Amino acid sequence: MLTENKNSKYLVNRELSWLKFNDRVLAQANDQRHPLLERARFLSITQKNLDEWFMVRLASIHQMVQLRLKSKDPTGFSPTEELDVISLAAGAQLKKQHSLYARSLVPMLAKKHINILGIDELEESQYDWLEKYFQQEILPILTPMADDGTRPFPFLSNDSLNLGIRIVANPTKKKKSKTENYAFIQVPKNLQRVIKLPIGVGQTYVLIEDVIREYINLLFQGYKIQEVTAFHLLRDMELSIAEEDSPNLLKEVQTQLKKRERGQVIRLVAEKKMSKKLEKHLQKALPLNKRRIYRVSGPVDLAFLDTLIKQVQIPELIYQPFQPRTELSLMGKGIFKTIADHDVLLQHPYNDYGPVVNLINQAADDDQTMAIKMTLYRVSDHSPIVAALGRAAEAGKQVTTLVEVKARFDEENNVHWAEELEKQGVHVIYGLPNLKVHAKMTLIIRKESSGIKRYKRYMHVGTGNYNEVTARLYTDISLFTSNDLLADDLAQVFNYLTGYFAPKNLKIAHISPNGIADHLEKLIDAESEAELKGQISGIWIKANSLNDTNIIEHLIYASQTGVPIHLLIRGIETLKPEIKSVTNKIKVHSIVGRFLEHSRIYRFANNGNPLTYISSADLMPRNLYRRVELLVPIVDPKCESELAEIFETMWADTVNMWKMKSDGSYARHSKRRRRVDSQALFMEQEFVADRFAEKFVGDE
């Protein structure tokens, strides 16, 4: 296993790698090939990404520092050193976000007559309208909260926008007050952050914090306002669930969700003008280390851009909608006949997600369906799949669903659906002790004859969640199959999830914890052996993240033996490629474009008889050793060929692609190369492999 003493110079710190990924997303906000409002959306995405990273990853390292842990990460950082380095890098990214907003996006929006203005920039008629709006719509809801000896510092919730106010009593002729007091206003989350003014040329918007600031005197009559500063606050949002001691996981999650809201403050972003007095007061009251405070010029939370985009509604400034292809053989009641005849592979969102929903709907309404077994990790707010499962249970079918109530930031939604499904008669499993169930799989059992083998089993396995909304935004792979060997394996896996059963001797599938890592290591080592024997070798991997040191060690050895390795890693990637005599055979690309690359593909040359898999798992310790994940082979030759073409097309991308260099940094493609946009080609149902054969694979 890699340690800080062995090969650490070939690795990038995990958190710095993630920040580099968010930088690549941020670069899209400055890329003129995207429509203007989509560029604003990319900026908003980077803000939300960074917020979540602070609430989870930086918060975890902060806890390690507080516990005075001394262990080092694979790159040699102690928790204290790592916290210092990543805090500095995160602060630089915050400044970059706000600079792009002020210097690029705001002026470009103004050219399209979309104006985000300060109160002092409004025309008199606009100001008059806004004053009435404040009096009628905002003022009645606001609650000023004093902070003094009798009224303690108020609780400020996570992800809240607040105003910090310094005040003194209004002076009189006889006496001038020198005592300063503090008060706070938390901007209600049910008020619109962005206010559109109905008066003026074009579209004019103001932010609610600026409006409240303008009329703040109405809330503090008899006092003189010294300062009003906006700030955005984040708390540590990691759940701490003592699963061994909890007899009821659902209730434990619900309890911890309430506690999480009062987690330690992990970051405060304030306007640059915040006074030292207010800063010190917040540090003491929250309490908060000074290095957890970041100052920015402009709005303290750029996530408001999402609201702005919805209000603007100018079609030419957003992506033009495209029509995903519908696999007609998987729509309607004939879906079971199609799957019984042959496997079907779909790539979302280029292939419509309708067949996945249709499979569950048909199973729910089909008289021959006896049982449905399914895992749910993240679902939409109005999930048609959940509705179908409830309908199936009410119709008397045996329906078993594992709802992972520990899915981060979807805990409340999943708890709600788990309770609703139980009410409808579904047998609900909430997860396993100390493991998250991240596998995406469905097993449907139908009675199709009266003989010994009267049951036929149908399956869907995917790389993405059973969420029809995100399926329009994320690229994922779906496999529909009735393969008996896989059905036997999935039956074992579901028995493991629902009862006391240890899956042994799975025939073709592999599961984590441990099983996927073990199998991938064997496959990588087999390519090394093939290369040493002079046989055909090669490794092609597409995943969201790579930072497992065991897998990395096997990849380094494969590179040293001469195996050509192509890694399409969207986000975290901690292995430096193309280092002489170490990783010189490894090439790393990252695709960042209109759709979020989310599919996981693992392909091995196997001396000319490729072995290809799809999986729910990334190459991270949490996926390989602390979750239940699924790795499934693509055994149908047609489906295997389709998946190979998909990978080759993505590898050939020169428009959305970033190449990782040997020092761990990333660079855009050379503009001299042929322009290939893999996402556009998939939307047009074209493939690089069809037109250019394999010339792009490995061609730098």
Tokens of 677: 């946009």
Q: In what order do the strands lie in the sheet with 145-147?
A: 145-147, 180-186, 160-169, 223-235, 265-271, 293-296
What is the C-alpha separation between 254 and 259, in angstroms, rounded?
9
Structure tokens belonging to residue 396: 């008397």
Residues 615/629, Cβ–Cβ less than 8 Å: yes
Classify residue 287 as exposed, middle or buried by CB count within 10 Å of its CB (0-12, 13-18, 19+). exposed
- Among residues 313, 309, 382, 321, the alpha carbon closest in space to that of 349 is found at 321
Q: How far apart are CA 527 and CA 562, in angstroms?
A: 9
Look up tokens 């990319």; give the residue. 42
Q: 34, 348, 438, 519: which is the annotated catalytic residue?
A: 438
DSSP state of 170: P
Beta bridge partners of 614: 601, 632
Report how far residue 544's alpha carbon sits from residue 210's, in angstroms, rounded to the nearest whole number: 39
Is 8:579 a contact under the CB 8 Å cutoff? no
Distances (CA, A) of 160 to 51, 187, 303, 310: 12, 7, 12, 21
Which amino acid belongs to residue 678? Answer: S
Helix axes 249-260, 411-423, angle to 10 degrees: 150
CA–CA gap between residue 376 and residue 404 (Å, rounded): 6
> Where on the phi/psi map is residue 534: left (φ > 0), alpha (ψ -120 to 50), or beta?
left
CA gyration radius, the chain: 28
438 is annotated as an active-site residue: yes
Report whether 10 contacts 583 (CB < 8 A): yes
Q: Which two tokens stand for residue 136?
A: 């009628």
> Could you give the CA distance from residue 586 to residue 560 in angstroms, rounded to a whole number?
10
- Of 291, 301, 308, 235, the closest CA to residue 270 belongs to 301
Residue 413 tokens read as: 């939604």
- Report d(CA 233, CA 619) in Å as an integer: 32
Residue 165 C-alpha from the chain's centroid: 35
Residues labelled catalytic: 438
